[in-house]
Amino acid sequence: MRKKMKRHTNPTRLLLLCHTKSTNENDGSWEGIQGVKMMQQGFISQHVAARALSALVSGNYVQQRLRPAIRPYSSATKEMTVRDALNSALDEEMAADPNVFIMGEEVGEYQGAYKISKGLLDKYGPERVVDTPITEAGFAGIGVGSAYHGLRPVIEFMTFNFSMQAIDHIINSAAKSNYMSAGQINVPIVFRGPNGPAAGVGAQHSQCYSAWYGSVPGLKVLVPYSSEDARGLLKAAIRDPDPVVFLENELLYGESFPISAEALDSNFCLPIGKAKIEREGKDVTITAFSKMVGYALKAAEILEKEEGINAEVINLRSIRPLDRETINASVRKTNRLVTVEEGFPQHGVGAEICASVVEDSFGYLDAGVERIAGADVPTPYAANLERWAFPQIEDIVRAAKRVCYRSLPMAVAVAATA
Amino acid sequence: MAFAGAKIIQPSLPLIHTTTRSPDNTLLSDPSFLSSPFLGSTRTLRLTQSISPAQRRSASPVVAVSDVFKEKKLKSNTNLLLTKEEGLQVYEDMILGRAFEDMCAQMYYRGKMFGFVHLYNGQEAVSSGFIKLLKKEDSVVSTYRDHVHALSKGVPARAVMSELFGKKTGCCRGQGGSMHMFSAEHNVLGGFAFIGEGIPVATGAAFASKYRREVLKEADCDHVTLAFFGDGTCNNGQFFECLNMAALWKLPIIFVVENNLWAIGMSHLRSTSDPEIWKKGPAFGMPGVHVDGMDVLKVREVAKEAIGRARRGEGPTLVECETYRFRGHSLADPDELRDPAEKARYAARDPITALKKYLIESKLANEAELKAIEKKIDEVVEDAVEFADESPAPSRSQLLENVFADPRGFGIGPDGSYRCEDPKFTQGTAQV
């Protein structure tokens, strides 16, 4: 039953539409994105791209859409906090598939330690929203065992620091099982929870685990930033047949982001392994994930205003698989790279990005890669020390300037002031 | 709840146990024992005296009994605990386990098998006693000493042997190895190298069974899960976490402790504050049972009760099987710390010899039939070795396969499409 569809000619809106993903592999969203990229790179004209894309998308729409009403796409007017985005994603996935259940500490009667699972106990009952004793190793393993038999658990760690008590199960019995059993047993489990520093919570509650989990084959590691990321990536994670580590950020839970109508659709999923270019630019590429994306965007504004440096900000969205293609394509365009992360610098995400760029796009680099990470210390408690222990907006600005040779390199600057 | 009626007898147990055992010091001669038989009571098995019932280090059995079961046992006083077919089936399974493991040792020393190989000789009664009572849909989770659990559950000997040789035709295509036997078809959920790791996974499988019945409303889903692990594991945190949650949520799981008294070279008595593992069950609200793990018939009786409990939804059971491994911890273990006298004592209680004796003496089978079974198993094992020998090694393209069920997790390739869609993805060096 084909509906009369509005012609979609705006490529940005088309790109958003193409992000809508069903579990059907061949839904053409990749072709759509490629088309837009080609257009952006000038290979095909905007008009051609728009017509091709709209044909693709209309075709997809008829396949994917179950509801008849197709709203005209105006620019996003609704706002949603990340917390609500996660809650709505969990709610919708639990409603759609009775195999999905949530397990963790305080997820039920307490409504979630950070209120992410608010209201779900009342809606789905204690058998599907399971409060556990304080037994990370135990309930992570229980989640894995039930996933072996086809259930889809969402295991919540109150923070990912506590996942260290269960890391044996995340890695040995979840990540490696599909391989060890030669494909007989897959593990459709999601481990989620807040990751990285919060505010004044001390050394044992502030570590970022993206690098640790990002190095394990067999895991998919996702790091949402905005509400749209949170919704789309969590839904994709729950529907994914493999173990997913979903690293949220406590300080982002309360932040509001504009959210588009299609992101509110219950079928909305983002592809796993694809980064998003949050801000286009041509002078320097800044990669970031989670909370640092917000900092990078603000830094980009400052750079634009004060220095006239036009920065491209990439929201990684996915640590494993890392979207090396988007990063390398961006570096080939801008020739300079700054990586930003909150985790410890050694063996961090930035180290991997730098290596990848050096391997694939060495000839395109006009300057050394700048790596901004958290300080190489356990997180201090005092507010000022904590601020110095993590990247701030000024650090990103300074690094971008350094990489653009707009300021003296750090060693010389220090010597000058001595 | 059956547990409420449990009687727990506390003997005065010295903490340092001697392992000497004399035939006089049998359980049967101890009056306190006779008045309170435990599950899988030795009373009805008086015939099999060669497996001297005084398995325990102490004189009297210290068990938790459910009154309900006690009554049942008092009524059934038949001599025969199993039918002829069951007897032959169990015998064949134990012979298969023994012959297979012996062949593994041979193959290892010839270089066909490598890495870590842990053999199960001597413990066959536990595997056959429990697993032969399961349905195909019930799950078994084990440790690294998992060859015989897989065989008992129904994984073909050929598949297990090929897996050990690292061939493509193995049950995990050569990707798992000795310590990681998985079979989705037979519900063998591994094969875990870390001790204690399998216990939460087994608890999860039991959770899935309960979830299916209660949330997904599959009324006939009464699948139980058996978790096998050793005495060393019982000091690990995950064990206690799972005892707690299994009892809390009344999960259909049986925790089977294969207490062979040794964790590599660490004696159970040196490492455990209270060596009686069965006692840890009642502490968490489930029955704890101790049984002679060298006697397959006793194990079977206990298993029947425990599995029945779990299927009816009455919750978990902790069964401690006192058993012994005739070989070292692994094929690389020189096994110098164990007292040869202790080894000899347990060798005299070989479960296979005991069952053979029982079958013959209770006229369930004759020598010829048993010999025929042994011959048949020899052929099966030889055939498995030949099959494994002739099977091809995995091809290079297999290296990157099976990491993900949805292999788009390998990310985007240089041409912008998913790497796994590139036809050359699994050829050449792994460039992901």
pLDDT < 70: residue spans in chain A: 1-76, 408-418
Regarding an ipTM greater than 0.90, the answer is no
Contact flag A242-B237 (C-beta cutoff 8 Å): no
Chain A nearest-CA distance from B98, in A, is: 25
Which residues is B211 bridged to in the sheet? Answer: none
Instruction: Tell whether the model's pLDDT for residue B40 goes beyond 70.
Output: no
Instruction: Tell whether the model's pLDDT for residue B394 goes beyond 70.
Output: yes
Least confident of A232-246, B129-143, B150-164, B405-419: B405-419
Structure tokens at A160: 């990912």
pLDDT at B79: 62
Spell out the domain ranges in chain B. 62-390, 396-427
Q: Of B307, B214, B244, B317, whose CA–CA distance to A142 is shortest?
A: B244
Instruction: Tell whether the model's pLDDT for residue B146 goes beyond 70.
Output: yes
DSSP B395-417: PGGGTTTTS-SSGGGG-B-TTSS
More confident residue, B169 or B25: B169
Task: Out of B176, B244, B417, name the one closest to residue A181 (CB).
Answer: B176
pLDDT at A46: 52
Return contacts of A113-119, CB within 8 angstroms, 24+ apart: A113/A156, A113/A158, A114/A83, A114/A194, A114/A250, A114/A253, A115/A83, A115/A87, A115/A253, A116/A83, A116/A86, A116/A87, A116/A90, A116/A156, A116/A248, A116/A253, A117/A87, A117/A90, A117/A156, A118/A87, A119/A87, A119/A91
Between strands A370-372 and B7-8, the pairing is unpaired
Q: How many CB atoms lie within 10 A of CB A349?
A: 29
- CATH 3.40.50.920 maps onto chain A at 276-417
pLDDT at B413: 80
pLDDT at A415: 60
Known catalytic residues of A are: 136, 205
pTM of the model: 0.77
Instruction: Tell whether the model's pLDDT for residue B61 goes beyond 50.
Output: no
Q: How do residues A202-240 score in pLDDT, each as one tens digit?
A: 999 999 999 999 999 999 999 999 999 999 999 999 999
CATH topology of domain A2-21+31-264: Rossmann fold (3.40.50)
Contact flag A145-B200 (C-beta cutoff 8 Å): yes
Structure tokens at A353: 């990005």
Cβ under 8 Å to B: A residues 184-243: 184-186, 188, 217-218, 220, 240-242
Cβ under 8 Å to A: B residues 209-238: 209, 211-212, 214-216, 225, 237-238
Least confident of A224-228, A318-322, B33-37, B265-269: B33-37
Q: Of B217, B418, B168, B58, whose CA–CA distance to A25 is shortest?
A: B418
Q: Of B22, B29, B84, B58, whose CA–CA distance to B363 is shortest?
A: B84
CATH architecture of the domain formed by B62-390: 3-Layer(aba) Sandwich (3.40)
Chain A nearest-CA distance from B177, in A, is: 8
Q: How do residues B102-145 score in pLDDT, each as one tens digit?
A: 999 999 999 999 889 999 999 999 999 999 999 999 999 999 99
Among the four given CATH numbers 3.20.20.70, 3.40.190.10, 3.40.50.920, 3.20.20.450, the one describing domain A276-417? 3.40.50.920
Mean pLDDT of B204-226: 93
Contacts of A242 in chain B (CB under 8 A): 404-406, 409
Cβ under 8 Å to A: B residues 283-342: none
Contact flag A149-B183 (C-beta cutoff 8 Å): no
Chain A residue with the nearest C-alpha to that of B214: A127
* Residue A9, burial from CB neighbour count under 10 angstroms (0-12, 13-18, 19+): middle
Mean pLDDT of chain B: 83
More confident residue, A327 or B423: A327
CA atoms of A106 and A157, how far apart (whole Å): 10
Instruction: Tell whether the model's pLDDT for residue B321 goes beyond 50.
Output: yes
pLDDT at A121: 96
Cβ under 8 Å to B: A residues 379-418: none
CA atoms of A247 and A244, how far apart (whole Å): 9
Contacts of A140 in chain B (CB under 8 A): 200
CA atoms of A239 and A97, how far apart (whole Å): 9
